[in-house]
Every structure is written in C-alpha cells, then in structure tokens.
Amino acid sequence: MSVDIRPFKIDVPLEEVERMKRKLRDTRLPKNPIVPEAGEDYAGPSMDWTHRLYNKYLDFDWPAAQDHLNRHNHYIASIPDENTSVDIHFTHTPSPSPDGIPLILIHGWPGSFAEFDRVVDCFANPPSSDMPSFHVVVPNIPGFMWSSPPHRKGWTLQDTARLYHKLMLSLGYSAYVAQAGDWGMFIARELGAKYPACEAVHLNFCPTPLPEDLKDSDLTEREKMVNDRCDDWLDDHLGYAVCMRSRPHTVGVGFIDHPVGIMMWVGEKFNELANPDNQDEKWEQIILTQVCLYHFSGCMMTAMLPYYENVKHAGFGEFVLKEENRIKCPMGYTSFKYDSRPGTKRGVERSGNLVFYNESDHGGHFAALECPDVLLADCRKFFDEHFTR
C-alpha cells in the first residue's frame, strides 16, 4: 500500500473554545502555597506564577493562535505499517529553492509540531541567498495532537522512526537530514543509526555520560555543571515521568479534560527547563498555545506513551552508548546550559560520529523556541557541509 496524504486544517469549533473557558472560569485555584513562603521549593512553580498564567489563560486568544499555526500547510499521512496504517499529522513547508535540503524536525514531550514555530519559516526562506534553504517537515509523534495513537502495545520510538522514514520518502525526499531534542532524539538517533537516507543528524539533547576514567580534577567547569545539573534532575525533577510511565491511565484521565491540570503539567516543564531570562510574556503565550493544543486534540493521555514504552531516564546513557544505537552519519550537537541534562563534547562524541559541537549559555530544553537564531545558525552550518546535493 502507498502512503495516502490529505490536507488538514486545525479547526476547533468556537463552542469548544467557550466550553474550555467555562471550565477555566469554574476552577478554584488554591489561594495560598502548600506552606508559607514555599516559592518553588516544593517541586513545582510558585503560586504567583500559577495565578499569573491562569489569569492570562482566561483571556487567551485561541482563534488568533490557531490562525497563526494554520499559516503552514498541514496534512495527515496514512502510513502503511504492520498490516495496518498509522495516521501522522505534519506540516510541510518546502523552500522555493529547488536546492533546498529536506529536513525533518522532531519534537518531544511536552512539545508538538508547534515547538518549531520560530524556525520553520527561517529554514525554508533564509534572509540571505548565501544561506542554505530547507524543505521543512514537522510531524507529530503517534499519540500527539492529531497523529493517531500506536495500534499495539510495545510501540517504541524506533517504530516511529520507521514511519518517519516512510513519510520522507513518500514526500519525494530520497535523502534528508534530521534535527531533534527530548524524545525526538531517540527517533533521530534511530534514523541516523539505521537509515542511510538520513545523511546527517543534529541534536540539542543527548544524555551521554562522560568517560568513566575521568577524575573530578580532569573535568572542565561546564562538565562539572552538567554533572551537578544531571544529578539534581534525576533526584528532584522526575516525578512527572514516574507518574506517566507507571500510571498513564490515572494521570491521563485526570488531565485530559481539565485545562488547568494540563496547564500545570505542561507549563511546569516550560517553567523549569528554560532560561529564566527568556520567560517573558511571549513565553507565556507559547505555553498557553501548547496547553490548548493538548486540550483540543484530546491527546493528553496517549502523549504519555513514550514514557511507558521506552527506556527510563536513568537508562538513557546506557541506551545511547550501545553500538546499535550509535549515530553513524555525521552528527552535530548544540549544548544548551538550561537543559535538563546538557551534554558536553567528551560525552556526546561517545554516542555517534560527532563532527560539529557548539555550546550556548542562553537557552534550555526548548531550543527552537528559546534560541531560534542559535539553532538556525548551527543547523545551517552543519547540514550545509554534510548533505550531499
């Protein structure tokens, strides 16, 4: 069977928008923190942040956000796989240039295709003719937004890579490059390890441990920072992941139709994994756009599946170091200081054919939203040098 691709448009009925607003208005938030002067010490955003974002949610202009997202062409691809088919929602923004490089951008959790909103147009239409241009494909992982959930138990991100490869071929791209972070890293890693058509992979998340024989005195200042941040993340910030990988039905049912619940569950990550200096009013609008996408698509429960079906956080390092998971094509990496586990060169290079490395002290986990200029510059330089036209 061939891949069937049909146009799609985000079109949330106004009565659904009003229903969400009614539920918001009918929600009673706690007035006080769990203990006086709790701040952010009790594993979560402060009560001041919560009330501020809630009040902005009440006035959030979803129709305007929807129009903005619909500026790109959306599609649903029904991709044959394992005697059935899986629907993948994606945007496709080709460059006007016939020399454009096919690029697939891959999100994680709590992201979506909208995680790349600030870079798609610049990739496809660079400001200078001296810069490479890209044919940009941004899919949603199965179970996210309007991509159908996996059709069986045990669906891994390596299975999703197989679908994405088929998608790129069906769009006429016999060779392509990939960029990813978070869970998308595992998908891009599989493409770079197993599919020769994927000619280069750039990551902004790559939780690879440093060589075991390094002594503390051998570590650079950034490597020490990374070790401390990683230890803190594993010790104090994984409550959300434990819940989603152990109780996805409980958490999913609790949140799926609760806009404030989604706001807190999704918003927390945008709060704690971004540079505080980047969290302005525009950042809050980004959070609310993601929250609304999760709410209106009804995907809150199925978007938890990557946590249930794939390797646990404590096993990330072991996974990326396995020979079968090593990225064989040219690999690029940009380390962002405020990520949960920002990689360093001596660690990342153990997991693939690292030929490009850069560091940024200004962004975090959501690099394409926080530091679009850095990500654009790094990807342009790296992919231009390592894609065969």
Alpha carbon 359 to its chain's center: 19
How many Cα atoms occupy the beta-carbon half-sphere of 301 within 13 Å? 13
Where is 234: in which H helix or E strand? helix 221-236
Q: Output the six-digit token pair for 321.
A: 């170091």
Catalytic residue among 72, 135, 165, 182: 182
Query: Does 365 participate in catalysis according to the annotation?
Result: yes
Q: Which two tokens stand for residue 189?
A: 């890693």
Q: Which position among 307, 333, 338, 357 bears the catalytic label? A: 307
Q: Return the ∠ at Cα 259 (arms to 255 and 265), rounded to 5°.
A: 55
362 is catalytic: no
For this structure, is 307 an active site residue? yes
Distances (CA, A) of 33 to 26, 49, 207, 262: 20, 11, 34, 19
State the Cα torsion 270-271-272-274 to the nearest 10°.
60
User: Where do we find the tokens 């990550």?
Assistant: 269
Sequence length of the chain is: 389
Calculate the alpha carbon distances from 259 to 23, 59, 241, 256 in Å. 7, 13, 20, 8
Active-site residue (options: 72, 165, 365, 386): 365
* 302: DSSP letter: G
Helix (H) or strand (E) holding 329, with range, is strand 327-338
DSSP class per residue in 78-130: EEEETTEEEEEEEEEE--SSTTPEEEEEE--TT--GGGGTTTHHHHHS-SSTT
Query: Residues 332, 338, 340, 344: what is their CA dihedral angle, to the nearest 10 degrees?
Result: 40
| Residues recognised as catalytic | 182, 307, 365
